[in-house]
Structure 1
C-alpha cells in the first residue's frame, strides 16, 4: 500500500511501524467518534431507565462535549512537556476506564461523572491526533494521511447510529459503553508499541493560560447551549464569562515565556486563512445536521433511526472522496481542491434548503450526498494547509487549534438553529444561513490560492535531487 512504502530520504516512521501507528490512531479516533453518535441516539432509553427528565438527560451528551472542548488546547500544549505518545496513551486509558464506569452506572449523577472523564480522555487523543499524522508519515504523504483521518471520522459518524440501533434492539444501554473496552484496549496496545518516542520540551507550563483557556472554551459552549435552548439571560452570562476569560487568555499568551497557544502562529496567513475557512465550514455542518434532524422528525414524522439513515450519504461520501482529495493535495494546490469542495457543498446546502414535505427519500439522499462530496473534497486539503503551513515543531499547537475550531464551529452552528427557531424562523431559513457561512468559507479559501500555490512550487523545488 502506498502509505506504507519506504523511499530514500523519507522522514517519519518506517513503513511497518507506520502501519501499526496508523492502526492506533484509527481505532482510538473511531472509538471516540462512535461513542458520541451511539449515545446521542440512546438518550431517550437511558433517561427512561435512570428515571431522568429529558432536560437533565441532555447533559449526558453536553458534559462530554463541554469537558472535551475545554481541554483541547490544554492537552495540545501539555503534549510538548510529556510527549504526544504519553498523552495519547493516557487519553486512551482514561477513556477505557471511564467507559467501564459508565457501563456500571446506575444513577444519572454517576453516569455524568464518567461521561466527563470520557470527555477528558477524548480531548487528550483528539487534540493531538492530526499532529501525530505529521510525525508518523513522510511529508510527501501528509495529505494522503489526513485523508485517511477524514475517512475514519466519517466512518465513525456513519456506523455509530446503526450500531446503537442494533445493540439497543438486543441488549441494554450499558453495552454501548462496554463496546469501548475491547476497542480501547486494542488501541492502547497499538499505541504503546508503535507511536514514536519524543524528547519532552524543557521549560514551564502555562498554568494560568490553561485556566483561562478552560474557562473560555467551557463558557463558550455553555453560552451556545443556552442560546440554542432559548435562554438569553443565561446565555448572556456565559458569553460575558467567555469574553472576559478570552481577553485574559490573549493577554497572558502575549506575556508568558512558554504560552499555551503561541499567537505568532496566526502571523502565517496560510494557516490563519485555512483556520478561518475550517471554522466557517464547520458552522454550516453543525447547523445543517441539527436543522435537518428537526425537519425530518418534526415535519416529516420520521423516526430517529430513519433520520440517521437519511444522513448516511454525507459521511459515506466523505469516506470515499476524503482519501482521494488528500492524495491529490500532495500533488496539486490544496486551496484549489478545498475551494472546489466548498462549491459542491454550497450547491448541496442550497438544494437542502429547498426540501419540503413533498420531497421523497431519493430527493433528500442525493442532496445529502452532494454535501458529503463537497465536505470530503474540502476538509483533507484544508487540513493539510493548516498542518504544512507551519514548522513541524509547532504541529501539536496546530493540531489543538484544528480540533478546537471544529468543536467551536459545530457548537455555534447548533446554537444558531436554536436561536432561529426561538425567533420563529423556519428550518429552511437556517439552512440558507448554512449556505451563506459556506459561501464566506469559499471566499476565504479563494483568497489564499496564490499563497498555497507559491508554497507548492517551493516544496517541489526543495524535493528535487541536486
Structure 2
C-alpha cells in the first residue's frame, strides 16, 4: 500500500503525500453510495411496516434510488468537464448527505421517495467521475494499483452493507440507517474540497438536449427492466423499451452533431476501449444473472435459509477484495488484457460448476465455487478498468468514467431482469445460471480480442521509455 503514496521523479498526478487525503475522500464517498444500496435492501420490510405501506410499494425505495443514479451518470460526467470534477464530486457528496438526513426524517413514503431520488443524484455525481479522479490523483505507472484499490472498496462496501444494516436494525429503527451517512458525508465533503485536484473547467456550452435524451433513454431502459423483474404487463414493458430505443437513436444522432457532445463518439474509435467496454458490460450481465439466480437456487432448490444464503455469498466479494488490489498492481507490469481474460476464464469455470451443482450439495461445495467466481472477477475488473481509463486521452477521462459506470449499471440491471423474465416462463434456476455463463463467455471473447492490441501498446510504451 505504501508504494501508492511514494513519489518518483517525473510522476504525473498529485505528489505522494497529497494522495492520501484525496484517496480517503474518494473512499468515503464511494463507500456511502455502495453500502447504502445493499444496506437499505434488507431494511425494506422494516420501512414498509414503519410507514404502513405494502411491501410492493416499499420496493420503490430501492428502485427509485437506482434509476435516479443510473440515469444521470453520463450527465454528471459531462458536466464535470464544464465546472471541474472537484466541484461535481463535492456537490455530489453534499447532496447525498443532505438527502440522507431528509430520508431519516421522512414520515411518509412519498417524502422518503423524493429524498431517495435526490440521494441517487448525489451518488451519480460521485460514482460517475470516481475512476477519472483516480487517474488524476495517481501517476500513470500506478493506475492499475489505484483502480485495484477502488475495486476493493466497492467489493467491501457490497459485502459490508447487509451486515451493517442488520446490526443497526437490531438496536435501532430504520431512519438511523440514513442518519449514519451524516458524519461520514461531512468528513468526505471537507476532505474532497481540500484534497482533490484543482482544475479549470473547459469553456463552452453544455449539451442540454443530449442530457435530456440520455436521461429518457436510461430511465426508459431501467423502468422496463424493473417491470420485467416485477411482473409488469407486457404492453407497459414494451412502451418503456420503445421510449428507451427512440431516445437512444435521437441521442446518438445528437452526439454526432453537438458542438460539446455529452458522450463524444470518437472515444469509441480506440478498439481497446470499445472491447474493454463490451467485456465489462457482458461480465456484469453475467454477475447480475448469477447473484439473483443463486439466491433462488440456494433457498428454493437447496433449502438454505436467507441468513445461510447471505453467508454463502460472502466468498465472492471477499475474494474481489483480496485479489483486486493485487491484480491492479500486476496490471501495471503485465498485459492487462491477459489478466482480465484469465479472470473471466476462472469466473466462467465457477459459473459452470455452480450451474451443475446438485441439489444435495453441502456448504463447502458451494463455498469453493463462489470463491472461484470471486477470484475470477477480482482478477478481471481492475486490469479491465485500467484498459478503459488508460486508452483514452486524459482530457476524455471524465467521459470514459461516465461511460464505464453506465455500462456497469446497465449490464448488472439487464442481468437481473433476465432472471426475472426467464423464471416467469418456468425455466429452471440452473438454466439461468447457464445464461450467466454464456454472458461471461461473450465477455471472455471480447477480452481475448484485445490481447494483441494491448501487447503492442505495451511494447511501444517500453520502447518510448527506453528511447528517453
**Same fold at TM > 0.5:** yes
- Counterpart of 1:104 in structure 2 is 105
Pairing partner for 1:419 from 414, 418, 421: 421
Task: Give matches, 1:205-354, under 5 Å.
Answer: 205-231=206-232, 232-354=234-356
Cα shift at 1:296: 2.3
* Residues 203-240 of structure 1 deviation map (CA, whole Å, 9 limit, x = unaligned): 00000000000000011001111112233221101000
SS at match of 2:72: helix
Task: Give matches, 1:193-204, under 5 Å.
Answer: 193-204=194-205
Q: Distance in 2 between matches of 1:365 and 1:377?
A: 18
Equivalent residues of 2:351, 2:437 under 8 A apart: yes
Cα shift at 1:128: 0.1
Cα shift at 1:360: 1.4
Q: Distance in 2 between matches of 1:100 and 1:34?
A: 16
CA root-mean-square deviation: 1.0
- Counterpart of 1:37 in structure 2 is 38
* Residues 322-364 of structure 1 deviation map (CA, whole Å, 9 limit, x = unaligned): 0000001000100000000001000111111122431111111
- Counterpart of 1:127 in structure 2 is 128
State TM-score, norm by structure 2. Answer: 0.98
User: 65-74 or 356-365, which moves further after superposition?
Assistant: 356-365
Cα shift at 1:301: 4.1
**Is residue 2:418 matched to residue 1:400?**
no
**Is residue 2:86 matched to residue 1:47?**
no
Task: Give matches, 1:91-170, under 5 Å.
Answer: 91-170=92-171
- Counterpart of 2:28 in structure 1 is 27
Q: Distance in 1 between matches of 2:297 and 2:182?
A: 35
Aligned residue pairs total 466
Q: Distance in 2 between matches of 1:306 and 1:101?
A: 34
* Residues 353-380 of structure 1 deviation map (CA, whole Å, 9 limit, x = unaligned): 1224311111111111111000000000
* Residues 302-322 of structure 1 deviation map (CA, whole Å, 9 limit, x = unaligned): 443332221111111001100
SS at match of 1:128: helix
- Counterpart of 2:462 in structure 1 is 460
Cα shift at 1:80: 0.3
* Residues 262-298 of structure 1 deviation map (CA, whole Å, 9 limit, x = unaligned): 0011111000000000000000011111111122233
User: 321-330 or 223-232, which moves further after superposition?
Assistant: 223-232
Q: Distance in 2 between matches of 1:67 and 1:93?
A: 16
Q: Distance in 2 between matches of 1:331 and 1:409?
A: 29
Q: Distance in 2 between matches of 1:449 and 1:137?
A: 25
Q: Distance in 2 between matches of 1:412 and 1:32?
A: 20
Q: Where do 5+ consecutive residues of structure 1 fail to align?
A: none
Equivalent residues of 2:100, 2:119 under 8 A apart: yes
Q: Where do 5+ consecutive residues of structure 2 fail to align?
A: none
Cα shift at 1:465: 6.2
